[in-house]
Structure 1
Amino acid sequence: MHPNPAFRRADRVLLEAMLEEVGFGMIFAATPDGPRVAHVPLLYTGDGAVQFHLARGNALTRHLDGATVLAVVNGPDGYVSPRWYADPDQVPTWNYAALELEGRVRRMDDEGLLGQVTALSDKHEARVSEGAPWTMDKLSPARKRGLLASIVGFEIEVQVWRETLKLSQNKDIADRTRAADGLEAEGSPAIAQLMRTLGPAG
């Protein structure tokens, strides 16, 4: 995480909303085979835990039960040009939103795994605008058993939340506004919107 305290915002509701909205991240772990990462959909349970699943053959799968891992969620980001600042004695930078979740992992049982993948598909199907939502019951029993047997479910009991919301909070309001306008004009409206709505904490 970025060391500048200006880019911290320990607002748990905001961080949970980011986790819910993005819904995808990376799981990092040290293993006897070296450091490994998996890219996974994430399901926040609402009570401080995050669930995910991996293919049974994934290099991380056999090492995770009982391990301490780092889950990383990346929000919007964008390049900030120094030409957007009033003072010409500036350098380029990058604005971004990122969340790190550290915690211990437990392997889920078959019932928990089924609940996880059902909740994941229901959540994201609800975001698809056209047509009737896809549901797990559209699978034949044999197909469902085969697919569930090919993946392993895990849950992280999150012990530490660490955020970086680097949104030009170290600049004055005029520079932040120009930078947000520049980012939006260059095709990065999401980070521009965060800059406008969050800004400095307090």
Structure 2
Amino acid sequence: MRQNPSFAMSDVGEIRRLIEQNPWVTLMSATDAGLVASHYAVMLDPERDDLTIVGHVGKPDDFIHDLGERELLVVVQGPHGYISPGWYGDAQSVPTWNFVSAHLSGVPELLTPEENLDVLERLVARFESGMPEPRLMWAPPNDPEFVRRLEKGTAGFRLTPTRVVGKRKLSQNKADEIVETVIVELEAGASPYADPRLSAEMRRDFETRKAAR
């Protein structure tokens, strides 16, 4: 991802927030057979306060990616959307796309079966927590034999990135009144491109920048 100093996102806390809120990521590897990509949910390593993530892939994706042997690129995609030049008023302008994203690169460490079980359990607990009647991994009708058989079909990994590129492109190069107009259009406009998540991210960034002036 090409970096632009105006849009750089380097704060670890902000990138952690991005990962926490957008756990469905793209995993990419350059292998002898060419580029390969997969999509899985990850989470921040609960034992660390940096950008270390843990997750799993279904077998044989571990062999397809040469997991643990090659560099892995993890693409985290946050809110994003089309920005119409019509929202800029009468000034000369072109369309663009606002987004928040981060790329984490490094060679992952393969987890032991017990570590992988712990990650699987935490992932299930996290996403089931919002359900009215959570179904946890070890709870009936599941039994230990079923859960351990499930684990054997996956490969867990831990990635402490050696390279991180974060980018937050949210109209920071536009005048305040234009940013406010774009936020309103995304928030409640009649456009098919209205997106409350993107408008909320823009508003958060805008208010933070104003407070820092």
Contact 1:79 1:183 in 2 (8 A): no
How far apart are 1:181 and its partner, in Å?
A: 1.3
TM-score normalised by structure 2 residue count? 0.87
Distance in 2 between residues matched to 1:64 and 1:160, nearest whole Å:
17
How far apart are 1:68 and its partner, in Å?
A: 1.3
For residue 9 of structure 1, what is the amino acid of its counterpart?
M
Contact 1:36 1:60 in 2 (8 A): no
For residue 36 of structure 1, what is the amino acid of its counterpart?
V
How far apart are 1:92 and its partner, in Å?
A: 0.4
Match of 1:35, SS state, is strand
For residue 88 of structure 2, what is the amino acid of its counterpart?
Y
Distance in 2 between residues matched to 1:180 and 1:160, nearest whole Å:
32
Match of 1:90, SS state, is coil
2:77 to 74, 77, 81: 74
Match of 1:198, SS state, is helix
Distance in 2 between residues matched to 1:119 and 1:141, nearest whole Å:
16
* Equivalent residue number for residue 191 of structure 1: 198
* Equivalent residue number for residue 37 of structure 2: 37
Distance in 1 between residues matched to 2:92 and 2:6, nearest whole Å:
21
For residue 137 of structure 1, what is the amino acid of its counterpart?
W
* Equivalent residue number for residue 173 of structure 1: 176
Contact 2:57 2:155 in 1 (8 A): yes
Q: Does 1:111 align with 2:118?
A: no
* Equivalent residue number for residue 13 of structure 1: 13
How far apart are 1:127 and its partner, in Å?
A: 2.4
TM-score normalised by structure 1 residue count? 0.92
For residue 164 of structure 2, what is the amino acid of its counterpart?
W
For residue 44 of structure 1, what is the amino acid of its counterpart?
L
Distance in 2 between residues matched to 1:62 and 1:95, nearest whole Å:
30
How far apart are 1:114 and its partner, in Å?
A: 0.3
How many correspondences in the alignment?
Answer: 200
Contact 1:37 1:60 in 2 (8 A): no
* Equivalent residue number for residue 54 of structure 1: 57
**Correspondences of 1:85-124 after superposition (within 5 Å):** 85-124=88-127
Structure 2 runs not aligned, ≥5 long: none
Identity of aligned residues (%): 26
Structure 1 runs not aligned, ≥5 long: none
How far apart are 1:9 and its partner, in Å?
A: 2.5
Match of 1:15, SS state, is helix
Q: Deviations over 1:68-124 (max 9, x none)?
A: 111011011111000111343100001011111111211111011001001111111
How far apart are 1:64 and its partner, in Å?
A: 1.1
Contact 1:25 1:42 in 2 (8 A): yes
Q: Deviations over 1:29-73 (max 9, x none)?
A: 111111111101001115232111111122755611132111011
Distance in 2 between residues matched to 1:66 and 1:106, nearest whole Å:
9
Contact 1:79 1:95 in 2 (8 A): yes
Match of 1:158, SS state, is coil
